[in-house]
């Protein structure tokens, strides 16, 4: 009886090891997709840097253009923030095929990380913007959307990094180096 239990445990252990090996192998093969020139990346790919007016396109998903970055002297009297400089980022995007069960394509200030000239991360600022981002269905575009940021350091240029998950739940990222007008 004791020998049968040992053989049974060895068989169960061997099956578990085989299942583990198959799972690891399948994870490696599904995670080894190559990157394309459309902004998709894997862990070893580098993010392309764009300039003002250049368009970042993720094939079959979206295109995004940062139209301008403009400094403003306007301050919100009700805000506790006292930034050295306030900038308004104006941008446009097109939905080329992005779909989601939650919402249509939307790029808002939460999708952007802004660094000033001193590499300090800017925070969104309750500034006076005129055009808000809109959830955009396939085939539609949102033009001239604006987001406002307070910078810790007065800057002649900013770096704006965009992060968004595509329809396949893959994180897409691009960076823009933009002059402040």
User: Is residue 36 situated within a structural domain?
Assistant: no
User: Is residue 29 situated within a structural domain?
Assistant: no
User: Is residue 165 situated within a structural domain?
Assistant: yes
Taking only the tens place, the pLDDT of each residue in 41-88 is: 444 345 689 999 999 999 999 999 999 999 999 999 999 999 999 999
Q: Which domain holds residue 158?
A: 49-179
Q: How many CB atoms lie within 10 A of CB 106?
A: 19
Cβ atoms 105, 98 nearer than 8 A: yes
Average pLDDT over residues 146-157: 96
pLDDT band at 157 (very low <50, low <70, confident <90, very high): very high
pTM, rounded to two decimals: 0.73
Provide the greatest CA pair distance for the chain.
86
Q: Return the CATH number at 159.
A: 2.60.40.1240
The residue ranking higher by pLDDT, 156 or 31, is: 156
Residue 9 has a pLDDT of 59
User: Is residue 100 situated within a structural domain?
Assistant: yes
User: Is residue 8 situated within a structural domain?
Assistant: no
User: Is residue 129 situated within a structural domain?
Assistant: yes
User: Is residue 15 situated within a structural domain?
Assistant: no
Strands 55-58 and 49-50: unpaired
Domain count, the chain: 1
Dihedral of the alpha carbons of 149, 155, 159, 163, in degrees to the nearest 10: -10
Q: What is the DSSP letter of 97?
A: S
């Amino acid at each position: 009886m004791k020998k049968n239990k040992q053989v049974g445990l060895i068989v169960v252990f061997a099956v578990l090891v085989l299942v583990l090996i198959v799972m690891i192998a399948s994870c490696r093969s599904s995670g080894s997709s190559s990157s394309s020139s459309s902004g998709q990346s894997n862990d070893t790919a580098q993010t392309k840097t764009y300039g003002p007016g250049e368009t970042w396109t993720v094939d079959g998903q979206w295109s995004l253009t940062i139209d301008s970055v403009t400094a403003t002297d306007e301050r919100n009297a009700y805000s506790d923030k006292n930034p050295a400089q306030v900038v308004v980022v104006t941008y446009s995007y097109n939905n080329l095929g992005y779909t989601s069960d939650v919402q249509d394509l939307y790029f808002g200030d939460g999708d952007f990380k802004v660094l000033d000239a001193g590499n300090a991360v800017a925070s969104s600022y309750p500034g006076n913007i005129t055009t808000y981002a809109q959830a955009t269905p396939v085939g539609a575009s949102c033009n001239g959307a604006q987001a406002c940021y307070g910078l810790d350091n007065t800057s002649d240029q900013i770096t704006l990094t965009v992060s968004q998950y595509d329809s396949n739940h893959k994180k897409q990222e691009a960076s823009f180096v933009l002059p402040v007008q």
